[in-house]
Amino acid sequence: MFEAKLENAALLKKIVESIKDLVTDAPFDCSENAMCLQAMDSSHVALVSLKLEVGLFDTYRCDRTINLGISLKNMSNALKCANNDDGCMIKYEENEGDSITFTFTDTKRDKTQDVTVKMMDIDGEHLGIPDQDYAIVCEMPAAEFQKTCKDLAMFSDSLNITATKSGIVFSGKGDSGGINVTYAPNSNADDEKESVSLEVNEPVNVNFSIKYMNSFTKATTLSSRVRISLSNDVPIVIEYPIEEAGYLRFYLAPKIDDEDNME
Amino acid sequence: MFEAKLENAALLKKIVESIKDLVTDAPFDCSENAMCLQAMDSSHVALVSLKLEVGLFDTYRCDRTINLGISLKNMSNALKCANNDDGCMIKYEENEGDSITFTFTDTKRDKTQDVTVKMMDIDGEHLGIPDQDYAIVCEMPAAEFQKTCKDLAMFSDSLNITATKSGIVFSGKGDSGGINVTYAPNSNADDEKESVSLEVNEPVNVNFSIKYMNSFTKATTLSSRVRISLSNDVPIVIEYPIEEAGYLRFYLAPKIDDEDNME
Amino acid sequence: MFEAKLENAALLKKIVESIKDLVTDAPFDCSENAMCLQAMDSSHVALVSLKLEVGLFDTYRCDRTINLGISLKNMSNALKCANNDDGCMIKYEENEGDSITFTFTDTKRDKTQDVTVKMMDIDGEHLGIPDQDYAIVCEMPAAEFQKTCKDLAMFSDSLNITATKSGIVFSGKGDSGGINVTYAPNSNADDEKESVSLEVNEPVNVNFSIKYMNSFTKATTLSSRVRISLSNDVPIVIEYPIEEAGYLRFYLAPKIDDEDNME
């Protein structure tokens, strides 16, 4: 039996809306310590990795490690029924068939919604992602990163990122013109939420598909800050922390072919 | 001559927007006591019944009972010209031809708008709808009922309603899963506007087309509360009261075929 | 070299959004005193005339009179990258090739965006528009004029304007009905911003294409007031003043053919 209760349905709504265009069918790995999800996007270019630790839940019970496969479109529909501040219970009972039940409670109105969603078999291969040191780690307001990716997409299919101690530059170039967006590190900013912090171990200069970046930034609703980790020639990590007890991470390999052209 | 003045155009705007997708051409029956409208939807499944008593108007003059036929699309366009708080005069003069004139006045700006709309001949058959006792009468926040119908439509074409003394349940079931929305009666709720009241004379279990229900709930703008009256095997009544001096009611017959399948 | 800095990008954003559907490619005439633009719409019916005097800029340097041709679509994309309150520098350096650079600065975040937009050759013929006296000059809230044009478009392709000392009437007539919108001059209105002022030298009765009028009113974002100047048989002028140091004007010739029909 698996049973986990979130105080508010809003968190799960935001997570599913963030990834449902990237990942169609999701295998949720539920264990004693956390509810996790790892999945490649449908074109096998980007990797989504979600971790929700027990601490995020009001109650949490997982008798044995199980994998719950679910269509994210159906899960999104189920969650649309919930108001943001409804309580949200997720329940799976082995001997009650092949469905997950989401129960949303609105105590103010004595209202209960039980939504059942059919499960599906998904071949989940849990990839081991090694922890590693990155040449650059940048933390910035998530909304800033989202706006920058959106702006760049007007000019180019590729996002070039260069970083040195003096700042991080996002740029793109197309037929009609080009754009450079430069952030100087301002870790002393008055407003910590607005600050851009930058750790530089060595300079980088690397290119990514802007389309995927724009897709990742749908997770901006989840967190006020985003953490960008990158090195030359390895996948970039775009991480949205979840209340200090989880995260939603996106991994994307650099574009190799364009690199020379962009310099 | 018919001449009636509403303090604000907003009321008429909301009414027309609520029904114009259901009813194309509307026969307004104007008498000494009230302005009424009764019309079947274009597929002759649902019935709309509107009553605006004299008390809703600032001034009201109806020399003899007349029927004013008008295209609701044209009436909607006319009303779009009015600001919500403009005064709204409706005028029909027998010997001035085949038009109704809407005059909107914005005294703050010394602005007057005269909009004339061509009338049309409509065969209005005024059905006598008998007052009757219903097995269940439920009053709830109109916005709650609207959200429940919208949520159910994601799962099913049919809305099943069951009610007993312990509560009223709206449910639907489809290929990807299902949903049950349960309201316990909470007539003692602190906030009277949010309360769900339920009178139960006998239990009911009955199915309706969710598409029509969703269409009716466009009238949610008219009233904070909705009154749902139903019995097994007779049309349901969805009523939106209008300032205690009128109403907009929708009648819909149950789905007979689906009834067995849904239980 | 041309270099001009606006305190906020918002002004230029609004201007470009106001005219970019009317004018595809724009020749900006930059001189010592002002940045100007004059262009016919693509069907050569309406004329757009923009003047931004030096006083609108924080810094302004124009070594010699030059003409900067630019696609308004590309300029719009560039400006979308700016937040409304970002500083906005426009720069053109003769010997640095065929691009204009817009630099947007967000000092709060130590963020700088350099957007380069390719220039284009545009045959700009600067028409001399004679100053002239008009039979009618009407000033009114820009939002009121916008709403009136939008309302009229539901009924007619033509906007008829008649004005006498007692008021100004905008009207249209179509198959389904018609509309007259009358403003009495209320120069003594309590709220000066809401007042309608009307100078009448001689009565007018003239017709215009409503489609163009609706297009002009996109400039409503620029100014709370609009100034309408008209005489029989000459182009109407719709003027949006810009902070008392510039303007955006639209000129449109009357519809000759319809005039008789409308009276």
Report CA B85 to chain centroid distance, whole Å.
21
Its CATH architecture, for the domain B136-262, is: Box (3.70)
Task: Give the residue from A116, A69, A121 showing the smallest Cα distance to A89.
Answer: A116
Cβ separation B183–A109 shorter than 8 A = yes
Please say whether the beta carbons of B246 and B51 come within 8 A. Answer: yes
| Residue of B80, B108, B112 with shortest CB distance to C194 | B108
pLDDT of residue A235: 95
| Residue of A151, A154, A196 with shortest CB distance to C109 | A196
Confidence of residue C56 (pLDDT cuts 50, 70, 90): very high
Distance from A80 to chain B by nearest Cα, in Å?
7
Instruction: Nearest chain C residue to A184 by CA: give it.
Output: C110
> Does the CA dihedral A206-A210-A214-A215 come out positive or negative?
negative
Cβ separation B110–C184 shorter than 8 A = yes
Residues near C131 by Cβ (< 8 Å), separated by ≥ 6?
Answer: none
Residues from chain A contacting residue C108 (CB–CB below 8 Å): 191, 194
User: What count of CB pairs under 8 Å joins A to B?
Assistant: 58
Its CATH architecture, for the domain C2-118, is: Roll (3.10)
Residues from chain C contacting residue B110 (CB–CB below 8 Å): 183-186, 189, 196
| Residue of B154, B182, B189 with shortest CB distance to A80 | B154
| Residue of C112, C113, C115 with shortest CB distance to A177 | C115
pLDDT of residue B97: 78
- Phi/psi at C9 (nearest 5 deg)? -70, -20
**In this model, does residue A190 exceed pLDDT 90?**
no
Which of the residues in chain B have pLDDT under 50? 258-263
Please say whether the beta carbons of A114 and A106 come within 8 A. Answer: no
* Percent of the residues in chain A that have a pLDDT greater than 70, as a whole number: 95
Which of A123-132, C64-73, C129-138 is least confident?
A123-132
pLDDT of residue A187: 63
pLDDT of residue B187: 62
Two tokens, residue C71: 């696609």
Residues from chain C contacting residue B99 (CB–CB below 8 Å): 177
Helix, strand counts (H, E) of chain A: 5, 18
Residues in chain C whose Cβ is within 8 Å of chain A: 71, 74, 77-78, 80-81, 99, 108-118
Cβ separation C80–A154 shorter than 8 A = yes
Burial-class residue B189 by CB neighbours within 10 Å (0-12, 13-18, 19+): middle
- Phi/psi at C153 (nearest 5 deg)? -65, -20
Task: Please tell me the distance from the alpha carbon of residue A124 to that of residue A29, in angstroms, as a whole number.
Answer: 9
Task: Give the residue from C227, C147, C229, C140 showing the smallest Cα distance to C192.
Answer: C140
pLDDT, tens digit, 9 for 90 and up, residues A74-93: 999 999 999 999 999 999 99
H or E element that contains B193: none
Which of A94-103, A225-234, C80-89, C138-147 is least confident?
A94-103
If one counts every other C-beta atom within 10 angstroms of the C-beta of residue C169, the result is 17
pLDDT of residue A263: 39
Residues from chain B contacting residue C154 (CB–CB below 8 Å): 77, 80-81
Distance from B105 to chain C by nearest Cα, in Å?
10
**In this model, does residue A38 exceed pLDDT 50?**
yes
Task: Give the residue from C247, C232, C188, C249 showing the smallest Cα distance to C48.
Answer: C249
Cβ separation B176–A109 shorter than 8 A = no
Task: Please tell me the distance from the alpha carbon of residue C183 to that of residue B39, in angstroms, as a whole number.
Answer: 38
Residues forming CATH 3.70.10.10 domain(s) in chain A:
136-262
Confidence of residue A110 (pLDDT cuts 50, 70, 90): confident
Which of A38-42, B117-121, C94-98 is least confident?
C94-98
Residues from chain B contacting residue A69 (CB–CB below 8 Å): none
The residues pairing with C49 across neighbouring beta strands, listed in sequence order, are C38, C249
The residues pairing with A19 across neighbouring beta strands, listed in sequence order, are none
pLDDT, tens digit, 9 for 90 and up, residues C163-204: 999 999 999 999 889 999 999 987 655 777 888 999 999 999
pLDDT, tens digit, 9 for 90 and up, residues C198-225: 999 999 999 999 999 999 999 999 999 9
Q: Tell me how far CA of residue C253 lies from CA of A103, C164, C232, in angstroms.
A: 65, 21, 10
Angle at B75 between CA B72 and CA B77, to 5 degrees: 110
Cβ separation C118–A184 shorter than 8 A = no
| Residue of B154, B179, B196 with shortest CB distance to A109 | B196
Cβ separation A110–B196 shorter than 8 A = yes
pLDDT, tens digit, 9 for 90 and up, residues A202-236: 999 999 999 999 999 999 999 999 999 999 999 99
* Percent of the residues in chain C that have a pLDDT greater than 70, as a whole number: 95
Angle at B167 between CA B161 and CA B173, to 5 degrees: 35
- Mutation for C interface: B25, B71, B77, B80, most C CBs within 10 A: B77
| Residue of A110, A117, A118 with shortest CB distance to B183 | A110
pLDDT, tens digit, 9 for 90 and up, residues C99-114: 999 999 998 888 999 9
Residues in chain B whose Cβ is within 8 Å of chain A: 141, 144, 151, 154-155, 175-186, 189, 191, 194, 196
* Percent of the residues in chain C that have a pLDDT greater than 90, as a whole number: 81
Cβ separation A109–B189 shorter than 8 A = yes
- Mutation for A interface: C91, C101, C111, most A CBs within 10 A: C111
- pLDDT higher at A97 or B14: B14
- pLDDT higher at A186 or A170: A170
pLDDT of residue C262: 43
Residues forming CATH 3.10.150.10 domain(s) in chain B:
2-118
Report CA B79 to chain centroid distance, whole Å.
18
